[in-house]
Amino acid sequence: ASVSAGTVLLRLDDSLLQAQKKNIASQLDAAKANIQVAKVGVETAKLAYAQILDAAIAAESGTRTEIWDADKPSEFDLPTWYFDKEERTAALQAEVDTAEEAFTAKADKLSETSEKSGSKNFLEVEASLAEARIAFENAQAILDATPSGDLHDAAQLTLDDAKIDLEDAQTDYDDALTTDGAKDVLEARAEYTVAKERYDLAVDNFRTAETGANSPEVLMAEQNVKQAESILAQAKSALGQIQTQLDLIDTQLEKLTLISPIDGVILTQNVELGEIVSPGLTTMTIAPLDELTVTVYIPEDRYGEISLGDVATLTVDSFPEESFAATVVHIADQAEYTPRNVQTKEERQTTVFAIKLSVENVEGMLKPGMPADLVFVSAEK
């Protein structure tokens, strides 16, 4: 059978790949939808950021010059307006860092002091005093809230007991104050408390300076924009990965369809409908009709009569009235025995040279395998 270039020769079963493609296609649709949602998220975050930034700048605009009239400590030579906002913010941040470092050091010192044996005894006395104080305050509050009568009398007894416990705890505390452990604890507590207050105040001052574009609300809105953009980037990446999978499936599907690469005739067909095609199997053999060749064998005594480019006339039994031009394109340089398909035994025992000729078959009349006769033009001469 003759075929043209591009003709579908056979198709392999693609049901499994089609099912995979359908599944991936649905994932692709979902990924595209996710991108649209992510884009909306980015736009929403940007809009919110712009609104919050505008509001923060507007709120700051009325206070920007307040520092010009602020009281200046006598220890400062420069006017209060001298440093701009960024410089003041940097200084405030530096103070936060320094105060935090000092606070951490004092907290460590208090912890180390608390582990000393003398300090532990004093801390136990302190704890007892604190507990007695709380108990007394609670008993006083109960008495104040209790009406006269039996309840009032019971509340008074509780308060009296709490007062005695408080006085005893206070006495124990006063006695413990003279110890070295007490001195160490009181010193460590005082330093810790001051360091903590310094740090808290530094943080408060820094937060107070976080206005306008540096306000926490603006920074949070800016972070939301970045997060939304990250989600969009992830959605696009996921879409690209799914598209790659779909492209791979399409490539595999294309390989399941065998298409003739040339105009020609099918010489052999090694598969039938419904058969399994094994890897590496040659399913069909197609020969081009416009590039036919014919090989003839000449005896040694006539080898010198043929040259490359010589022209011959070819005829076939199927078209007895037609002749076709053939041109010598290859001459064997070694002799061989006549091929087995030569008619007689005597001829097969003769050594010959193979001559290959290209045959013009523009109209496609000739088919591979047709018996043919050739007459070399030079031989006729």
Please, which residues have CB within 8 angstroms of residue 4's CB and are 6 or more apart in sequence?
Answer: 260, 263
Angle at 377 (CA atoms; ends 376, 381), nearest 5 degrees: 115
Q: Is residue 194 within 8 Å of residue 7, measured between CB atoms? A: no
Q: Is residue 329 within 8 Å of residue 356, measured between CB atoms? A: yes
Reported confidence tier of residue 381, pLDDT bands at 50, 70, 90: very low
Per-residue pLDDT tens for 47-97? Answer: 999 999 888 888 777 666 666 666 766 677 766 666 777 888 889 899 999
Q: Cα(303)–Cα(297) distance, rounded to whole angstroms? A: 10
Domain 289-380 has CATH 3.40.50.800: no
- Which pLDDT score, from 0 to 100, does residue 344 have? 53
- Which pLDDT score, from 0 to 100, does residue 183 have? 92
pLDDT of 282 above 50: yes
The token pair that represents 156 in the structure block: 């008074």
DSSP states of 112-172? HHHTSHHHHHHHHHHHHHHHHHHHHHHHHHHHHHPPSSHHHHHHHHHHHHHHHHHHHHHHH
Q: Cα(99)–Cα(196) distance, rounded to whole angstroms? A: 8
Q: Cα(167)–Cα(145) distance, rounded to whole angstroms? A: 23
Q: Is residue 17 within 8 Å of residue 252, measured between CB atoms? A: yes
Find the mean pLDDT for residues 169-178.
92
Residues of the chain above pLDDT 70, percent: 90
DSSP bridge partners of 288: 264
- Which pLDDT score, from 0 to 100, does residue 335 have? 87
Unique residue bearing structure tokens 């996921």: 238
- 3-class DSSP state of 19: helix
Q: Is residue 280 within 8 Å of residue 288, measured between CB atoms? A: no
Widest Cα–Cα separation across the chain: 155
Reported confidence tier of residue 160, pLDDT bands at 50, 70, 90: very high
Strands (E), the chain: 2-3, 8-11, 257-259, 264-269, 284-288, 292-299, 311-316, 319-331, 336-337, 351-359, 372-376
pLDDT of 4 above 90: no
- Which pLDDT score, from 0 to 100, does residue 18 have? 94
Please, which residues have CB within 8 angstroms of residue 96's CB and are 6 or more apart in sequence?
Answer: 199, 202, 203, 206
Domain ranges of the chain: 66-210, 289-380
User: Which segments of 6-84 does DSSP mark as H helices, in order?
Assistant: 15-61
Distances 51 to 15, 47, 232 between C-alpha atoms, Å: 54, 6, 22
How large is the angle between the packed helices 85-114 and 117-145, nearest 10 degrees? 100
pLDDT of 184 above 50: yes
Q: Cα(291)–Cα(335) distance, rounded to whole angstroms? A: 26
Please, which residues have CB within 8 angstroms of residue 217's CB and are 6 or more apart in sequence?
Answer: 52, 56
Average predicted confidence (pLDDT) for the chain: 87
Per-residue pLDDT tens for 283-304? Answer: 888 877 777 899 998 888 888 8
Please, which residues have CB within 8 angstroms of residue 280's CB and are 6 or more apart in sequence?
Answer: none
Backbone angles phi, psi at 15, to 5 degrees: -60, -40
Reported confidence tier of residue 231, pLDDT bands at 50, 70, 90: very high
pLDDT of 12 above 80: yes
To which H or E segment does residue 108 belong? helix 85-114
Please, which residues have CB within 8 angstroms of residue 132's CB and are 6 or more apart in sequence?
Answer: 162, 165, 166, 168, 169, 170
Please, which residues have CB within 8 angstroms of residue 237's CB and are 6 or more apart in sequence?
Answer: none
Q: Cα(56)–Cα(62) distance, rounded to whole angstroms? A: 11
Q: Is residue 370 within 8 Å of residue 318, measured between CB atoms? A: yes
Closest CA to 84 of 68, 99, 62, 107: 68
Angle at 163 (CA atoms; ends 162, 169), nearest 5 degrees: 90
Q: Cα(57)–Cα(48) distance, rounded to whole angstroms? A: 14
| Signed CA dihedral, 271, 276, 282, 283: sign only | positive
- Which pLDDT score, from 0 to 100, does residue 66 have? 63
Per-residue pLDDT tens for 91-132? Answer: 989 999 999 999 999 999 999 998 888 888 899 999 999 999
DSSP bridge partners of 373: 315
Per-residue pLDDT tens for 317-356? Answer: 999 999 999 999 999 998 887 665 555 555 555 788 999 9
Per-residue pLDDT tens for 202-228? Answer: 998 888 777 677 788 888 999 999 999
